[in-house]
């Protein structure tokens, strides 16, 4: 494994880990500082939106700032014809780094707030929340691909942060939209946690949403070739050699 790929994997590990730290940590803080559930969600969503935008800006030039297995899978899928996205091996390595980072991020949040690490007990699966995850993930993938396709990837950090912050509120699932983050949140029995039994249905819904997002983007932009050529800019262009 070359040093360039190692740097990218480190960026994905740190970025995804810190994202989960932001999500879980702000959820813990919100539950301690506020007694109203709506206010807790507002505090959690604002922190997540701002934190995600900062992390994209920080790590994007190194790895592209995927921080999300479905984004890495989509990057591989749409970039295959132009051969400018991730290779299958790179996508697998990205996903592993993201999942390990996400778990580490939850453990870090627990440690900062002096909470024991317990498996989450919050059951989240209903028909409505699964539909919410499909919608949230489809919208995220459409946004990322549309920005790359139209040459506006420089706007990804504020745009994606704003989308996730909004999707906390307009989706019934509060917009996990990320298998790695979903797995990481198992390890915090807090406001942001998710019980293990809810994880696989959530991830399945996210994969369905990603497929719908790719399909809708192709339908809107009507050029698989042009979309594939934009894969190198998902989420944002890397400024160092691939």
Return the HEC string of 122-169: CCCCCHHHHHHHHHHHHHHHHHHHHHHHCCCHHHHHHHHHHHHHHHHH
- Determine the pLDDT at residue 234: 74
Q: How many other CB atoms sit within 10 Å of the CB of residue 225?
A: 9
Q: Per-residue pLDDT tens for 191-210?
A: 899 999 999 999 999 999 99
pLDDT score of 229: 63
pLDDT of residue 149: 85
Give me the residue spans of the domains in the chain: 3-233
Which CATH architecture best describes the domain 3-233?
Up-down Bundle (1.20)
What integer pLDDT is reported at residue 29 of this predicted model?
A: 97
* pLDDT for position 35: 92
pLDDT value of position 222: 73
Q: Is the whole-model pTM more than 0.85?
A: yes
The tokens describing 65, both together, are: 């700032």
The answer to whether residues 47 and 192 touch, using CB atoms and an 8 Å cutoff, is no
Residue count of the chain, please give it: 242
Query: Which residue matches tokens 């929340």?
Result: 129
pLDDT means over runs of 10, the chain (242 residues): 91 98 97 95 97 97 96 91 82 98 98 95 97 98 92 93 98 97 96 96 98 93 66 69 51
Instruction: Quote the pLDDT of residue 218.
Output: 87
Provide the pLDDT for residue 73: 96
* CA pair distance 168, 164, nearest whole angstrom: 6
């Amino acid at each position: 494994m070359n040093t360039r790929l190692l740097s990218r994997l480190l960026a994905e590990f740190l970025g995804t880990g810190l994202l989960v730290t932001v999500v879980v940590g702000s959820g813990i803080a919100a539950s301690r500082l506020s007694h109203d559930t709506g206010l807790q969600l507002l505090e959690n969503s604002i922190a997540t939106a701002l934190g995600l935008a900062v992390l994209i800006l920080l790590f994007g030039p190194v790895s592209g700032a995927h921080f999300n297995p479905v984004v890495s899978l989509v990057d591989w899928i749409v970039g295959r014809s132009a051969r400018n996205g991730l290779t299958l091996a790179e996508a697998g390595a990205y996903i592993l780094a993201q999942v390990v980072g996400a778990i580490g991020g939850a453990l870090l949040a627990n440690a900062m707030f002096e909470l024991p690490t317990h498996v989450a007990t919050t059951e989240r699966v209903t028909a409505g929340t699964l539909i919410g995850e499909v919608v949230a993930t489809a919208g995220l993938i459409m946004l990322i691909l549309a920005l790359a396709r139209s040459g506006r990837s420089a706007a990804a950090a504020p745009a994606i942060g704003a989308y996730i912050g909004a999707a906390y509120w307009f989706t019934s699932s509060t917009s996990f939209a990320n298998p790695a983050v979903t797995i990481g949140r198992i390890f915090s029995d807090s406001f942001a946690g998710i019980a293990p039994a809810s994880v696989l249905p959530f991830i399945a819904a996210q994969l369905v949403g990603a497929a719908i997002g790719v399909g809708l983007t192709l339908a809107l932009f009507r050029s698989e070739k042009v979309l594939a050529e934009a894969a190198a800019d998902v989420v944002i262009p890397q400024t160092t050699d691939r």
